[in-house]
Structure 1
Amino acid sequence: MPLPIYLLAVAVFAMGTSEFMLAGLLPDIAASLDVSVATAGLLTSAFAIGMVVGAPLMAGLARKWPRRSSLVGFLGVFLAAHVAGAVTENFTVLFATRILAALANAGFLAVALTSAADLVPADRKGRALAVLLTGTTVATVVGVPGGALLGTLLGWRATFWVVALLCLPAAFGVIRGVPAGTGPLDDAGGPDLRRELAQLRRPRLILVLLLGALVNAATFGSFTFLAPIVTDVAELGPLWISIVLVLFGLGSFVGVTVAGRLSDHHPGVVIAAGGPLLLGGWVTFGLIAYQPVALLLLAFIQGALSFAVGSTLIARVLYEAAGALTMAGSYATAALNVGATAGPIIAAATLGTGLAELGPVWASGTLVAVALFLALPFRHALAHSAHEGTKR
């Protein structure tokens, strides 16, 4: 992989830490700002809403801007939003800063995905995507648990300050590693936007967008509410939240790494094998999460399966949207974050039911079951390799 892709992954790490860090901070934020944990969980949805709206919007606006300038500009806005979030005493203001940060994150990721795809051969998009998502998975392994620990020791605001500071080396990496002007985004005229948007009428693209959204909704629905499962269901101490998040993150790193080596040429294998295992994992999680050892083991397994299946589906978006040279990254970003928006909302709705703290886990299982049901009639189409895709 070219060095610029790894430098982009550093920036994705900083942004991924911000996107997922609330999973370990929700109780503290809720108490600090005098709202319920379920209401505080909407901060995760706020970020995801900004990502969903921002991905196509920011990609459309930035499609004729120099890539390096766009990426650094998005990082600057992201930094400013976290400084504002760190100092506010108002939940509504914090909610607004999450949306602003997400818009910047969406623009950055949409441009970064398209840039990464252009830096590698046509049949290695999945591998390039896996390297970028490594920044996200490292965030879940190091950034998110570290943020949870920092929040426990110094308060949630300290985590926001650290994320803001992380933007500085990330921007330096982008400036040093990303070419100032490469690819279709920098052409004088650029590809026709209406032709790129017309790609959204392709049935196979719609299918992988929907499946990717469902699987990621399952992932983020449970991930957002892992903290109360650790403390109230398994009856472990607050410091165990960080340990469970580390295990989930380690699993996600393994999952995205393995899937990155398979998703270009054997996507059907990942989806056909990983999908049912993912469903079974959520069911098992719901039944035995009260046992601490089982909780720790399942956190790792579900992290691996969730990111393996989810990243493979998102890679399929890049292939199916190959005709959208500047917007394909935004479609992939939007699919991932439609799930990240819907998942916590659906999960939060289950907290007030008889399922209590395990409601999000059962909601995740249901979402994966729906995805498998929808995918079954199209399993042969989903199994197309990158080589076959480039011939279409």
Structure 2
Amino acid sequence: MNPRIILLALGMFALGTDAFIVAGVLPVIAQETGVTEGLVGQLVTVFSLTYGLGAPILAALIGRWPRHRVLMGALGLLCLANLASALAPSFPFLLLTRILAGCFAAMYTPLAFAIGIDLAPPTKRSYALALVVSGLNIATVLGAPLGTWIGEQFGWRLSFTLVAALAGIACLFLMIGKLPKSATPVSLSLRERLGPVTHPRVLQALLPAFLWNVGVYVMYPYIALLLQQKIHISDVSVLLACFGLGIVLANWVSGSLASRFRPHRLVATFLVILIGIQCALPLVATTMIGGVIILLLWGMSFALLFIPQQQRLLNIAPEHANVILALNNSALYLGIAGGAAVGGFALRFFAVPQLAWIGAASMLVALCVVAIARQKK
């Protein structure tokens, strides 16, 4: 396996840490900047919204540029954006740096997947893709909890400095390793990239993914507040690692389940489980042991939906595989943005524990959409 694929995974590790780190240090940022927790949660909103909307737009705009240069440039700029976050003199400036970081993340991710596949021999391409994706998964177990611990001990600015260092190291070694030049692929226009959305069945399949991500991320950006209130601890890094471990375990289990059962049935089943676990979250996470168990199960039930959802989309429109999976990724990040925005607004009227049940309502709507789609088949 080409060692440069590991460097691509390191870049994904930096990106994943960047995406998840705000949830752990949210109370610290709110205290130091003097703004409400709900407003700090919008750092997640702007990053994810920029990522979700920017991915197809930026892919269309830079599709004819040399991929290796764009990838290294995006990683270098992601490093600088996080340095700017660490040095932000005010909250509005911090918000701006998260928008820029979302743009550069949207540029890096699809190119890391494509180049990772190109670097591997044909028989190892699926393994290469899994290795690149593993960087994102490991970030939920190690990167975000480590950034949270650093933020609790030394201040949130050093948390963003950690992300900048990770991105900078990956960029530097990729420059030294010299990514191979590849032929410029045929660039799809924005209309072609968004074309499958006009297909009613595709839109109906993307909508539930958007809704269940809204449901999870109504709660997740504010999970540190919940855990601090319920368990009376200041450092939640270990509990966040349990959520990430659940995601990693689910990715391992989900593949074997997807080969045995129909994707539609799996999505419906996992959604029911996710709704139950999220409703139980504020009731069970009242002790350290309870928090460990419920966050592990929460992460697992959430991540189990990913592979069956992709299979549903591929069964609907296999001829648009690349475009439709990219749209699914955008739907996921738009759901994250929507959830963080709804959660921040809801905090003005509801207590933190009630966010879990507000999110569960969005998941219930997603389950209804899945059931309706099944009846129409």
Range class of TM-score, shorter chain: 0.7 to 0.9
Q: Is the 8 A contact 1:195 1:324 kept in 2?
A: no
Query: Which residue of structure 2 lines up, in the alignment, with residue 389 of structure 1?
Result: none
Query: Which residue of structure 2 lines up, in the alignment, with residue 341 of structure 1?
Result: 337
Query: Which residue of structure 2 lines up, in the alignment, with residue 390 of structure 1?
Result: none
Q: Is the 8 A contact 1:125 1:318 kept in 2?
A: no
Corresponding position: 1:279 with 2:275: yes
The verdict on how the C-alpha distance between 1:12 and 1:263 changes in structure 2, with shifts beyond 3 A counting, is farther
Report the residue type matching 2:270 in the other structure. G
**3-state DSSP class of the match of 1:65?**
coil
The verdict on how the C-alpha distance between 1:5 and 1:274 changes in structure 2, with shifts beyond 3 A counting, is farther
The verdict on how the C-alpha distance between 1:229 and 1:32 changes in structure 2, with shifts beyond 3 A counting, is same
Q: 1:300 aligns with which of 296, 309, 331?
A: 296
Query: Which residue of structure 2 lines up, in the alignment, with residue 52 of structure 1?
Result: 52
Query: How much is the aligned-residue C-alpha RMSD, in angstroms?
Result: 3.1
| Structure 2 Cα separation of the partners of residues 259 and 12 of structure 1 | 21
**3-state DSSP class of the match of 2:181?**
coil
Q: Is the 8 A contact 2:16 2:139 kept in 1?
A: yes
**3-state DSSP class of the match of 1:63?**
coil
| Structure 2 Cα separation of the partners of residues 62 and 96 of structure 1 | 22
Report the residue type matching 1:376 in the other structure. A
The verdict on how the C-alpha distance between 1:157 and 1:74 changes in structure 2, with shifts beyond 3 A counting, is same
| Structure 1 Cα separation of the partners of residues 30 and 96 of structure 2 | 16
| 17-26 vs 46-55, which moves further | 46-55
Instruction: Please report the TM-score for the alignment, with normalisation by the length of structure 2.
Output: 0.88
| Structure 2 Cα separation of the partners of residues 263 and 117 of structure 1 | 23
Corresponding position: 1:245 with 2:252: no
Q: 2:309 aligns with which of 313, 316, 322?
A: 313
The verdict on how the C-alpha distance between 1:196 and 1:34 changes in structure 2, with shifts beyond 3 A counting, is closer
Task: Tell me by how many angstroms 1:262 deviates.
Answer: 4.5
Instruction: Please report the TM-score for the alignment, with normalisation by the length of structure 1.
Output: 0.85
| 189-198 vs 66-75, which moves further | 189-198
Query: Which residue of structure 1 lines up, in the alignment, with residue 352 of structure 2?
Result: 357
Report the residue type matching 1:96 in the other structure. L
Query: Which residue of structure 1 lines up, in the alignment, with residue 66 of structure 2?
Result: 66
Corresponding position: 1:268 with 2:264: yes
Percent same amino acid at aligned positions? 29
Alignment of 1:1-392 (within 5 A): 7-113=7-113, 131-172=131-172, 174=174, 176=177, 179-181=180-182, 186-187=184-185, 189-191=186-188, 194-232=191-229, 234-239=230-235, 241-263=236-258, 266=261, 267-314=263-310, 316-317=312-313, 323-324=319-320, 327-328=323-324, 330-354=326-350, 356-379=351-374
| Structure 2 Cα separation of the partners of residues 111 and 380 of structure 1 | 38
The verdict on how the C-alpha distance between 1:161 and 1:245 changes in structure 2, with shifts beyond 3 A counting, is same
Between Structure 1 and Structure 2, how many residues are aligned? 375
Q: Is the 8 A contact 1:255 1:305 kept in 2?
A: yes
Query: Which residue of structure 2 lines up, in the alignment, with residue 385 of structure 1?
Result: none
Which ranges of structure 2 fall in alignment gaps of 5 or more residues? none
Task: Tell me by how many angstroms 1:156 deviates.
Answer: 0.5
Report the residue type matching 2:181 in the other structure. A
Report the residue type matching 1:209 in the other structure. L
The verdict on how the C-alpha distance between 1:278 and 1:271 changes in structure 2, with shifts beyond 3 A counting, is same
The verdict on how the C-alpha distance between 1:281 and 1:33 changes in structure 2, with shifts beyond 3 A counting, is same
Q: Is the 8 A contact 1:110 1:333 kept in 2?
A: no
Q: Is the 8 A contact 1:259 1:270 kept in 2?
A: no
Task: Tell me by how many angstroms 1:333 deviates.
Answer: 2.7
| Structure 2 Cα separation of the partners of residues 294 and 371 of structure 1 | 27
Q: Deviations over 1:339-377 (max 9, x none)?
A: 1101111222332334x1112211221121111110013
| Structure 1 Cα separation of the partners of residues 209 and 6 of structure 2 | 24
Task: Tell me by how many angstroms 1:200 deviates.
Answer: 1.9
Report the residue type matching 2:228 in the other structure. T
The verdict on how the C-alpha distance between 1:253 and 1:213 changes in structure 2, with shifts beyond 3 A counting, is same
Q: Is the 8 A contact 1:214 1:367 kept in 2?
A: yes
Task: Tell me by how many angstroms 1:192 deviates.
Answer: 5.7
Q: Is the 8 A contact 1:346 1:360 kept in 2?
A: no
Q: Is the 8 A contact 2:56 2:193 kept in 1?
A: no
Report the residue type matching 1:224 in the other structure. P
Task: Tell me by how many angstroms 1:23 deviates.
Answer: 0.7
**3-state DSSP class of the match of 1:225?**
helix
Task: Tell me by how many angstroms 1:255 deviates.
Answer: 1.2
Report the residue type matching 2:371 in the other structure. L
**3-state DSSP class of the match of 2:89?**
coil
| Structure 2 Cα separation of the partners of residues 377 and 92 of structure 1 | 42
**3-state DSSP class of the match of 1:25?**
helix
Q: Is the 8 A contact 2:210 2:335 kept in 1?
A: yes
| Structure 2 Cα separation of the partners of residues 125 and 262 of structure 1 | 22
